[in-house]
Structure 1
Amino acid sequence: MILILSLVGCEKSRSDPDTTEKEQVDDKKGVDSSTAGDYDSSLPADYEGTLSMWGWDDEYFKIVSEAFQEKYPNVKFEYTPVENGDLIQKYKTALITGGELPDIGWAVMAYRAGIFELDMWEPLNQEPYGFDISQVYECVRPQMMNSKGDVCGIEQSLAAAGLAYRKDLAMEYLGTDNPKELEAMFPDWQSFIAKGKEVYEKSGGKVYLWPGLADAQQFIREQQGISWIEGDTIHVTEALKHSLDIVCEFRDSHTSDTLEAWTPEWYEALGKGTHIFTGCATWSVAFEIEQYDPDGKDKGHWGLMSAPEGNILWGGTTMGITKTCKDKRLAWEFIKFATLSTEGAEALSKLGLLTTALKPYEENSDLGSYQSPWFGNQDIGRYYLDEIAPNIQGRKTSVNDSVIHEGLNLINASLRKDPDMTSEEALQYLIDYLLEELPDYNIE
């Protein structure tokens, strides 16, 4: 049985955060983890235990936990939905006050570096767990470790991202809807910009290549795989100048519209046929394109391709074991099942998602295949695995990356509102912002 302890508004579950309640509690029959045996072997099928976790993707939790309970029917879960942006403070509060932490902790990419530095994680690469990080795709490995090199969590799914494109618009304005031909057409962002200006003029100002500046800047800045912070140095110019330069050219050439990213207007534009391309992670298919382009299902509106200058990891959530976990052996069994096993990958495929683990694809080649009616006959699962993921440079994150994120959010808003703001001014604004917010760092 799954116990929902509280309902808190989150991206995929929008309940009032002030209305929390404990719906149901079952008697728990705890089992001493010392009796569970080797951490590499499976647990007995009749093993009894309870695991608690805080998370924000209710559907993911439901699918994966129920699949686990098919194998271990006597295991129960206590799940508390939370806002992903609130979780780091929730962890900190529990650590400061001596409050209870969940047995299994989640960490979203945007806040992960800070979360992983909290003294609350079991090092999964050490005994008794002995996790070998080579079991997962290379591009996700840097983001699964803390500053000491310990693995604090394993990715729930592969959040690889390339570009989705409207095939009807691509045929009309670019002359092809073939992903390989489009990739050849756009080897870099400069060729993309040149065509963007042409499309805008040809359409009479009605069609853009890209919807918004902030989502473009976020995509482009992740392509280089350069750590923003190393030691006491912030690599602003090396890591971020290129993305600011390109986004300003996007704006000035009308390659991009100026929709505010991730607003209702931005989402609704996916179904309006006014923007040819958008960044598209594995999770974007179900949660963005399929939701906001209802006509696209029957018409097979979309195609998937690699982006100019490389693909990225866009988002992602890890699961790890907290030091206060009451049954670490059971927690490890669940995490192995959810993130590394073929059975877990099969459950994940029901959500249209792909595991980061390599072995499941060897054991069941069908796991790499996924099709959505919105993408016609294209096997987008295989395209993500074979074409997009190999062309990703994972970036090692740092504790104060979130401060840089905030500065970039302010700059992107200014670029959208002020058409006269230059990339040089944007870069200097970011440098000044970081000098004030992080005075102990060298800004380069």
Structure 2
Amino acid sequence: MNTLKRTLALVATLAMTATAFASCGDEKKESTPKEEPTTTATPEDTTAPEETTAEPDNGDEIDASVKTGGDTFTIAAWNHDDVPYLIAQWKGLSFDTVVEDLADNKVDGIKFIDMNVGGGQAAEKYDQLFNEGSDLDVYFCEADWALKYINDDSKTLALSKLGLGDSKFTNIYNYTDEIGKDQNGVRKGISWQAAAGGFAYRADLAEEYLGVKSPDEMDAKIGNWENFVAAAKEVSEKSSGGVALADTLGGLWQAFACGRTQPWVVDNKLVIDDFCKNFADTAKELWDCGGVTKNSQWTDEWTAAGVSGNCMGYFVSTWGFGGFFLDAAGGENGAQYGKWAVCQGPTPFYWGGTWIVVNPETDNGEEARDFIISATSDEAQMSAYAKAKPEYVNNSQVMDDLIAGDTVFNPTVSGNFKDGQNYFKKLAENAKSIDFKGLITPYDSTIKGNFADAVKENYLDGNKSWDETVEAFKDKVAESVPDLEWDD
């Protein structure tokens, strides 16, 4: 690779993949031992992000520096999929009409800015609001780019200044808390949802090709990546290449990346360890044997493979069961509807999620505090919201209670599972196992997308060597993250 190419200060662009941070995992299921990282670097001028100092817990008191008593509580998000319903739960409004009522300014004292864009375009819209000095109290960030704001004290307020300390969030899932903290461990964002994933599969095909009759048996069959590959080869052989175990390379990487045990960036240098090679080799085995389809996520072919029976399983997160996964069954009462089951899969993982943050210039500190408590701390409110929305909320106690009570969160989604399996139960086990403390960097989503692209283009499609694939990966990262340092 050309050294000059890596050191050019190119405009950084975020990889537009439906992915989240690539650092979570459970060592008991990790197939690659933890290793010392290798790094590559070249001197480069870098600008350090604004730093926060650890904030004291103010108990229930709002810090005197936070303004209160403003006329209108303003909340912004890129769409209206979630925020209006969180407002409705908080204020006791109708879930059926809240979207229209907010759009028509019929909710007294609350303004909702619906940007009507994709999550990837929201940061640009937020920057416009900040640059224009627009009224803004609370806004929402996706995992892929949340740290851009969480690490900037001029854009996000430490939640402790609202009297929201550790005692308010005792039952949240650990991985969600790590994403909401800045580089100094100060909690500045909090999520109302957990987006843990699992492996959903056709129960009838699993019995036909693998001889498994329950989700527990399926976990025993594919409970690590070596076993997953072996099972995929078995399915491919017995189906004469007609059925793939896994849906896409993107789905495979979404799960696999959550087993990483080294940060992607250490001392401002890219880390390429044996974990990367392990994924590439795993992907190639599956690619070559027909164990994963050649389809891409977010295409018609992706879900059509489920309907046709050419794809046996999907890596799915909490929010996906009522969306693309239902489409993969052909919709309610579709060709494959009601034939599925879900297991934990080869590794605990999560996919997606959104974090609530507060503008330091808010003049509605009390409303911001009350809204966050309703969405993320008040267990009665969270339980009611989980059932009404429905949602997998970010509170392990609430979810454990609802799951133990065999709560039917969504009849249509539940009906897609054989024998009415409580699909959230397996996901709850994964949610508690995800751990990437100390692994998060601001570049994770971009680098993760760069790596997946490099592997597919070079190692799989291009039949290139591993060394050539690594060089291509470095080239992509150098363009996407010009602030990194390199050695050559």
Task: Measure how far apart 1:432 and its partner are.
Answer: 3.6
Give the whole-Å Cα distance in 2 for the aligned partners of 1:160 and 1:275: 22
**Partner of 1:83 in structure 2?**
118
**Partner of 1:388 in structure 2?**
430
Alignment of 1:164-183 (within 5 A): 164-183=200-219
Give the secondary-structure state (helix, strand or coil) at the position aligned to 2:114.
strand
- Pick the aligned partner of 1:325 from 362, 371, 388: 362
Deviation sequence 1:334-364 (CA, Å, 0-9, x none): 1110122221332133333221124535786
- Indicate whether 1:407 and 2:447 are aligned: no
Deviation sequence 1:190-213 (CA, Å, 0-9, x none): 222122122212212210011221
Give the secondary-structure state (helix, strand or coil) at the position aligned to 2:81.
helix
**Partner of 1:275 in structure 2?**
311
Task: Measure how far apart 1:313 and its partner are.
Answer: 1.5
**Partner of 1:7 in structure 2?**
none
Give the whole-Å Cα distance in 1 for the aligned partners of 2:226 and 2:467: 18
- Pick the aligned partner of 2:159 from 124, 129, 136: 124
Structure 1 counterpart of 2:148, one-letter code = G
Task: Measure how far apart 1:419 and its partner are.
Answer: 5.3
Distance 1:135 1:39, change over 3 A: farther
Deviation sequence 1:386-439 (CA, Å, 0-9, x none): x22233223642122243134235325515972524444323321343345436
| TM value normalised by structure 2 | 0.74
| TM value normalised by structure 1 | 0.80
- Indicate whether 1:312 and 2:349 are aligned: yes
Structure 2 counterpart of 1:438, one-letter code = P
* Greater shift in the superposed pair: 330-339 or 51-60: 51-60
**Partner of 2:181 in structure 1?**
145
- Pick the aligned partner of 1:189 from 199, 214, 225: 225
Distance 1:218 1:360, change over 3 A: closer
Give the whole-Å Cα distance in 2 for the aligned partners of 1:291 and 1:101: 40
Alignment of 1:178-217 (within 5 A): 178-217=214-253
Give the secondary-structure state (helix, strand or coil) at the position aligned to 1:125.
helix
**Partner of 1:6 in structure 2?**
none
Give the whole-Å Cα distance in 2 for the aligned partners of 1:356 and 1:60: 14
* Greater shift in the superposed pair: 284-293 or 105-114: 284-293
Task: Measure how far apart 1:171 and its partner are.
Answer: 1.5
**Partner of 1:441 in structure 2?**
485
Give the whole-Å Cα distance in 1 for the aligned partners of 2:462 and 2:319: 32
Number of residue equivalences: 400
Task: Measure how far apart 1:117 and its partner are.
Answer: 2.2
Task: Measure how far apart 1:441 and its partner are.
Answer: 2.6
Task: Measure how far apart 1:84 and its partner are.
Answer: 0.8
Residues 107 and 317 of structure 1 are in contact (CA less than 8 Å); yes or no, is this contact kept in structure 2?
yes
**Partner of 2:290 in structure 1?**
254
Residues 213 and 258 of structure 1 are in contact (CA less than 8 Å); yes or no, is this contact kept in structure 2?
yes
**Partner of 1:33 in structure 2?**
none
Task: Measure how far apart 1:259 and its partner are.
Answer: 0.4
- Pick the aligned partner of 1:285 from 306, 321, 327: 321
Structure 1 counterpart of 2:305, one-letter code = A
Task: Measure how far apart 1:136 and its partner are.
Answer: 1.1
Residues 233 and 441 of structure 1 are in contact (CA less than 8 Å); yes or no, is this contact kept in structure 2?
yes
* Greater shift in the superposed pair: 221-230 or 354-363: 354-363
Distance 1:231 1:123, change over 3 A: farther
**Partner of 2:146 in structure 1?**
112
Q: Which structure ranks higher in relative contact order (CA pairs < 8 Å, sequence separation ≥ 6)?
A: 2
Residues 74 and 113 of structure 2 are in contact (CA less than 8 Å); yes or no, is this contact kept in structure 1?
yes
Task: Measure how far apart 1:183 and its partner are.
Answer: 1.0
Distance 1:137 1:312, change over 3 A: same
Give the secondary-structure state (helix, strand or coil) at the position aligned to 1:111.
coil
Residues 179 and 440 of structure 2 are in contact (CA less than 8 Å); yes or no, is this contact kept in structure 1?
yes
Give the whole-Å Cα distance in 2 for the aligned partners of 1:402 and 1:364: 32
Distance 1:389 1:400, change over 3 A: closer
Residues 122 and 323 of structure 1 are in contact (CA less than 8 Å); yes or no, is this contact kept in structure 2?
yes
Residues 180 and 189 of structure 2 are in contact (CA less than 8 Å); yes or no, is this contact kept in structure 1?
yes
Alignment of 1:50-69 (within 5 A): 50-69=72-91
Give the whole-Å Cα distance in 2 for the aligned partners of 1:330 and 1:98: 23
**Partner of 1:300 in structure 2?**
338
**Partner of 2:468 in structure 1?**
425
Give the secondary-structure state (helix, strand or coil) at the position aligned to 1:141.
helix
Task: Measure how far apart 1:218 and its partner are.
Answer: 2.5
Give the whole-Å Cα distance in 2 for the aligned partners of 1:242 and 1:318: 32
Q: Flag structure 1 segments of 5+ consecutive residues without an equivalent.
A: 1-10, 12-36, 41-46
Residues 60 and 162 of structure 2 are in contact (CA less than 8 Å); yes or no, is this contact kept in structure 1?
no
Deviation sequence 1:262-308 (CA, Å, 0-9, x none): 22221332322211121111111112222442356585221110111
* Greater shift in the superposed pair: 355-364 or 231-240: 355-364
Structure 1 counterpart of 2:353, one-letter code = G
Give the secondary-structure state (helix, strand or coil) at the position aligned to 1:411.
helix
**Partner of 2:12 in structure 1?**
none
Give the whole-Å Cα distance in 1 for the aligned partners of 2:425 and 2:137: 34
Deviation sequence 1:233-258 (CA, Å, 0-9, x none): 32222553332222122112221111
Give the whole-Å Cα distance in 2 for the aligned partners of 1:333 and 1:196: 49
- Indicate whether 1:349 and 2:387 are aligned: yes
Give the whole-Å Cα distance in 2 for the aligned partners of 1:229 and 1:357: 30
Q: Flag structure 2 segments of 5+ consecutive residues without an equivalent.
A: 1-17, 19-58, 63-68, 95-106
Residues 459 and 466 of structure 2 are in contact (CA less than 8 Å); yes or no, is this contact kept in structure 1?
no
Residues 304 and 328 of structure 2 are in contact (CA less than 8 Å); yes or no, is this contact kept in structure 1?
yes
**Partner of 2:422 in structure 1?**
379
Distance 1:69 1:291, change over 3 A: farther
Distance 1:201 1:232, change over 3 A: same
Identity %: 21
Give the secondary-structure state (helix, strand or coil) at the position aligned to 1:397.
coil
- Taking only aligned residues, the RMSD between alpha carbons, in angstroms, comes to 3.1
Give the secondary-structure state (helix, strand or coil) at the position aligned to 2:316.
strand
Distance 1:394 1:268, change over 3 A: farther
Give the whole-Å Cα distance in 2 for the aligned partners of 1:177 and 1:423: 39
* Greater shift in the superposed pair: 243-252 or 403-412: 403-412
- Indicate whether 1:230 and 2:266 are aligned: yes
